[in-house]
Amino acid sequence: MANSTVLRHRSLLLCGLVLFGFGAFVFADWYSALPVTAKATYVGRNSCAECHANQVDQWHGSHHDRAMELPSETSVLGDFNDSSFSRFGVTTRFFRRDGKYFVNTEGPDGEFQDFEIKYTFGCEPMQQYMVEFPDGRVQVLRVSWDTVKNEWFYVTPPDVLDERIEPGDPLHWTGIGQNWNTMCAECHSTNLQKNFDPEKNTYSTTFTEIDVSCEMCHGPASIHVELANSNSLFWDRNHGYGLVKLKGGTSDKQIETCAPCHSRRTHIHADYRAGDKYMDHFDPALLRESLYHADGQILDEVYVYGSFLQSKMYAKDVRCTDCHNPHSLELKFEGNQLCAQCHLPGKYDSPSHHHHVDSAATQCVNCHMMEQNYMVIDGRRDHSFRIPRPDLSAELGTPNACNNCHDKPEETSEWAANAVREWYGDRRPDDPHYGVALAAGRRGDEEGEQQLLELLKRLDVPDIVRATALELLANYDSVESRRMSREALDDSNPLVRTAGLRALSIEFLAKFPKLVAEKLQDGVRLVRLAAARRMVGQSEQLLVPEFRDALRQAVVEYRAAQEVMQERAAAQLNLAAISQAEGNNRATIKYLRRAMIQEPYLSGVRDRLAQVMEQEGGNPEAIRKLRSEEVDLLARNYEFMPDSADIRYQRGMLLYLIDEYDEARVALEDACRLGPDNYSNWLALALICEKQERWNEVAKALRKMNELRPDDPNVRGILQRIEQARGGQ
């Protein structure tokens, strides 16, 4: 009995030791799978394919796969068998030589020469071709291949449809508008590093993969691969550990992972990786007049995100992969079956809803996702999923789905609006529509302020619309508009907080500097940058002591944000502005010179440079030369903006500064003719006519000034000087 008891105890002890050992192993294995602090690196899609062959197979041949390729028999779709295309006297010839692909066309100097094709770009419905220059610039040819019609065509800029674009113009194929490094590359390649050198004005651009590959969306995968190969039982205990978690949870993470390449935005931080907060790295464009119609419909190329933010789909947590296969990029279902995932076909896919019998007219997307062509032939759909509003078209001049098909003379927007009212009643589900307020704000209507204020008080308005309304409200300087901008600083949405900061008046900043300074420590970089731009250069009494360190850090972030796009003059001008606000004229001069070299056709830069050089005691002849160049540049802009009073005014003032009084007077007379209600135009004309003792013309200008601003002291001052001058005659 005793022996059996001992044996039983030994067995239990042995089992306990085995269980303890196994438990210790499992715990150690579990613990080893805890998150690590090492920064992941890019490993390439071949590493992904070892475990994810099905996803990689779907990706092969997709638009992401073919976003950019080296030229070869399989990648080049265009006719390079000595074919040609002519437009406005420029003949572009495509041919092959020694197994390579070439184009003979007009170069940056206007001379025709042979250029080797370095890369192909895209595959459907068009393919473009790229040439690399010795300074590292890669330029995209405007003559492109239509893969549907199998013919060459010319990609016209949206505002230059029927003109020859000369060499030296930013829109020429060798200009900044067609530069791959800055305009295209970061969304067509994986792990792109631009490597722009502002001193040499050159690029050394690199990428780890030539196209949009796995790690572009899932993030660098070195940690994921290491864990997957570790033979741990718990290597993926945190779902998707080592990669971005794109499934489950709310839709924000997935949408913000797609947004960097599918949005109109400015890059504000260099080290973006998939999964990072979107507004820590990008500044999305609002619903501005040049980009969107007043009701938020797409106008210019805006790449989906800004539209989607307006939609009820976004508000209801719908995400990209609910409709799109993320690897093949194909739609998950054909036709109305795609929408039927959520919208009952018995209710919506029926004549009682769409009131049409034609197959095309019964497709949900044709009414709720109007298509517009960009780059001449590339059709893209509006992702705001809007209700057709021909009544808004009648009121605001915006497009609508009804008249997109019904375009006979008698089929007006009023005709379509009446049909919609007959079918669905007098009111639409999205009434009152925000487009009415945005349109009034754009026009500067007196009632626009109240409409924008009412819009901002509504709870059902998309955040991007509220941010746009705040931007427009800044044009109405009133107690109520200032209060609304102040309230926006505490909004839950960073886009709205940013718009609020940018809309604040100087008077508000002077009165409540602490409210702005607090945003220097906001949790979102975009907001911090906006606060830094408002605070930097303010007088000492406005620099709240407890936030001075935060301001210094935010200014460092602001400078870094500009350096992301430092190949563009806009970034150099921003750096110049912040340097000037800090009182650093030497740095200001450096940045202005860079801007002038990078985009020499921009007006205003030379005069700003001349002003700062004057403050620094610069060479008078060099200053005069800069202003003379600016005068010539403004004169060339006359043909592009023949009705611009502002250009005439600027040119007149510059001519005055270089003592060309007669030409200055003529330019200012044109400014007054084109802008008769602008007080500054008449004041400048009065002063120069006074300088030339042209008393009758002075009197005419003074009468107009007095009409615009009765009892203005400037009028009295000029009159007194005239009386003194003429008293001696």
The pLDDT tens digits of the residues spanning 656-690 come to 888 899 999 999 999 999 999 999 999 999 989 98
pLDDT of the residue at 543? 72
pLDDT of the residue at 12? 64
Neighbouring residues of 469: CB distance < 8 A, sequence distance ≥ 6: 434, 437, 438, 441, 452, 455, 456, 461
The proportion of the chain whose per-residue pLDDT surpasses 70, expressed as a percent, equals 92
- Coil, helix or strand for 8? helix
Average pLDDT over residues 234-248: 71
Q: What are φ and ψ of residue 576, in 5° steps?
A: -65, -40
Structure tokens at 586: 């030497």
pLDDT at 506 over 90: no
Q: Are strands 196-197 and 265-267 parallel, antiparallel or unpaired?
A: unpaired
**What is the Cα–Cα distance from 237 to 484, expressed in whole angstroms?**
47
178 DSSP assignment: G
Average pLDDT over residues 284-306: 97
**What is the Cα–Cα distance from 293 to 287, expressed in whole angstroms?**
8
pLDDT of the residue at 217? 96
Mean pLDDT over the full length of the chain:
91
pLDDT of the residue at 535? 87
Average pLDDT over residues 264-279: 95
Average pLDDT over residues 429-445: 94
pLDDT of the residue at 603? 86
pLDDT at 250 over 60: yes
Structure tokens at 17: 């030791």
pLDDT at 561 over 70: yes
pLDDT at 642 over 90: no
The pLDDT tens digits of the residues spanning 579-601 come to 998 889 999 999 999 999 999 98
The alpha carbon dihedral of 616, 622, 628, 629 has a sign of: negative
CATH architecture observed for domain 642-729: Alpha Horseshoe (1.25)
Longest dimension (CA), the chain: 142
pLDDT at 7 over 90: no
Q: Taking the CB of residue 112, how many other CB atoms lie within 10 A of it?
A: 13
- Coil, helix or strand for 196? strand
Q: What stretch(es) of the chain map to CATH 1.25.40.10?
A: 568-636, 642-729
**What is the Cα–Cα distance from 599 to 607, expressed in whole angstroms?**
15
Whether residue 432 has a cis bond before it, omega within 30° of 0: yes
Kindly indicate the confidence band of residue 428, based on its pLDDT and cuts at 50, 70 and 90.
confident
pLDDT of the residue at 51? 92
pLDDT of the residue at 555? 92
**What is the Cα–Cα distance from 359 to 529, expressed in whole angstroms?**
50
pLDDT of the residue at 383? 98
Average pLDDT over residues 71-88: 97
Q: 20 versus 103: which is more confidently predicted?
A: 103
pLDDT at 240 over 80: no
Kindly indicate the confidence band of residue 540, based on its pLDDT and cuts at 50, 70 and 90.
low
pLDDT of the residue at 582? 86
Which among 128-137, 531-540, 644-653, 718-727 has the top mean pLDDT?
Answer: 128-137
Candidates 609, 542, 549; CA nearest to 579 is 609
Cα-trace Rg, the chain: 31
pLDDT of the residue at 710? 83
pLDDT of the residue at 32? 57
Domain 568-636, CATH among 1.10.630.10, 3.20.20.70, 1.25.40.10, 3.40.50.2000: 1.25.40.10
Whether residue 600 has a cis bond before it, omega within 30° of 0: no
Length of the chain: 729
The pLDDT tens digits of the residues spanning 445-482 come to 999 999 999 999 998 999 999 999 999 999 998 889 99
Kindly indicate the confidence band of residue 545, based on its pLDDT and cuts at 50, 70 and 90.
confident
